[in-house]
A and B are shown apart, each in its own frame.
Chain A
Amino acid sequence: MNRRRLLLAAALGGLVGLAGLSRAEERVIRIVAKKFEFNPSEITLKKGEPVVLELTSEDVTMGFAASDLNVDVEIPPGKVTVVRLVPDKEGTFGFHCDVFCGDGHEDMGGRIVVVAA
C-alpha cells in the first residue's frame, strides 16, 4: 500500500495503523487468503472495538480492500500483514481481493459485519 493512500485512509477514519504487534486489549482476527477465497470470508466486529486483522496469503500476493472502511492493503505470501481497525459505523461492508490473481479473482471476497457495541 502506498504511503499516501495509507495516510489518507487513516485520516478518513477506521484504519489506525498497519504495522506492529497486537496489543493486549485488541482482538486479533486472522484471515488467510488463497486462490480464490478468504478464510474466514465473513467476520463480525463491534462498533468502536479495536481489532487487529492479521492477513496472510498461502500462495501469491493478494489484496484486501474494504473501501467502505478505508482499508486497502496488499498481502504478500510469507509474512503477516497487520491492519488495525476501529469500526466507526454499523453495517455490512464488503471486502475483495484487488490484486489480480487468476481466473476466480473476480469472485474472491467476503464481508465485514459491524454490529452495535
Chain B
Amino acid sequence: MAQAFDRRDFLKLAGLGGAVFASGLAGCAGMAGAERDEFYFVQLSDTHWGFKGPALNPDAAGTLPKAVAAVNALKERPDFIVFTGDLTHTTDDPKERRRRLAEFKDIVSKLDVRTVRFLPGEHDASLDRGEAWKEFFGPSNYSFDHKGVHFVALDNVSDPAARLGEAQLGWLKADLARLDPAAPVVVLAHRPLFDLMPQWDWATRDGKAAIDILMPYRNVTVFYGHIHQEHHHMTAHIAHHSAKSLIFPLPAPGSQPKRVPIPWDAAQPYRGLGFRGIEAEVKKPAYDLVEFPVKA
C-alpha cells in the first residue's frame, strides 16, 4: 500500500478501465451567495471491524489499516472523509460492541485528514437503537455545508426495522426547506433509500418518503453502503451510488438465489474491496467517482 495515488492519474487510469462514473449535477445556477469551488472527498464503507471469517477475508484485521494507509497515500488530501456505516460487525454483547467501536475509532484516527464524518450501519446500531454508536460519534443524523454543497446524513439503521421514522423525515424536510430547489444536495446513508432488493433486505422501509421529500430539489445525489459493491441507480433525477466494502463483497442484486458473500480469492486478494474518491465539481457541476482497490 505504499503506492501514492494521484486522483487525476486515477481518473485517467480508471477511464481506460471503465471505472469512472460521472453523475450529472446539472443546473446549480440558483445557489446565490454560496461558495463555489471544486473539492474532493473520500467515501469508505462497511469496514465491519471485529468480523472473523477467514474464508471471506483472512486479513479482516488488516484490511481497514491498509485502507487508512491508502487514503493517507493519496497525493491530494481530501477535504473530508465519510464512513457510510457498518463500521463494526455486530455483536450481542454491549461491552464487546463498545470495544469494537473504540478500536475502530482508534484505527481511523490515523487518517491524515482533519474532518472525518461517520454514519451508523445496522451492525453498529440496530441492536441497541444506536446507543453505543452515539456515545462514540454523536448524533446519527445531521447536516453540514461544504463549498456550496449541502450534505445530509440520514440514519436508516437505528430502527432495526430499517425505518427513518416520522421524526427524522420531519427533520429532513425542515433541514432542506431553507435551500433553493437548484441547490446541490448530497445525501449520505447506510441502506439504499430505494427498493433495490427488499428480498435481500436491501431497502429502507420508508425510504420512498425521504425520496419524495428530496424530489423537488433538482440536484440530489445519494451515497450509501450496505450492499458491499458498487451500484448506480436513478430514481427520476436523483442518483444513488453504493460503495464497495472493506471486508467482503456481496453478489450483484438478484444474481443468485441467496445473498451469500463472495469468498476470498487467494489468486486475487482483496478483489471486490475498496473505497471511493469523489471529485465534486460544483461549477460544472458534476461528481466524478473513482474506485480505489485495496492492495496487499
Contacts and interface: CB of A to CB of B under 8 A. Distances in A.
Given A96-B199, A96-B201, A102 B127 contact: yes
A32 to B, nearest CB: 19
A94 B127 contact: no
Interface string A78-97: 00000000000000001010
Interface residues on B, range: 20 to 34
Given A100-B122, A100-B126, A102-B92, A94 B199 contact: yes
Contacts of B91: 103
A98 B201 contact: yes
DSSP majority for the A interface?
A: mixed
Interface in B117-159: 122, 126-127, 157
Nearest to A106: B259
A103 B89 contact: yes
A103 B90 contact: yes
A100 B198 contact: no
Contacts of A74: 161
Contacts of A67: 198-199
Contacts, number: 47
19 contacts: A2-B205, A2-B206, A61-B160, A65-B199, A67-B198, A94-B199, A94-B257, A96-B201, A98-B161, A98-B201, A99-B161, A100-B90, A100-B122, A100-B160, A100-B161, A103-B91, A103-B92, A105-B90, A109-B258
Nearest 7 A-B pairs (CB), nearest first? A100-B126, A100-B160, A100-B122, A67-B198, A99-B161, A99-B160, A103-B90
Interface of A: 2, 5, 61, 63, 65, 67-68, 74, 94, 96, 98-103, 105-106, 109
Interface of B: 89-92, 122, 126-127, 157, 160-162, 198-201, 205-206, 257-259
Given A98-B205, A103-B90, 16 more contacts: A2-B206, A5-B205, A67-B198, A96-B199, A96-B201, A98-B162, A98-B198, A100-B122, A100-B126, A100-B127, A100-B157, A102-B127, A103-B89, A105-B90, A105-B201, A109-B258
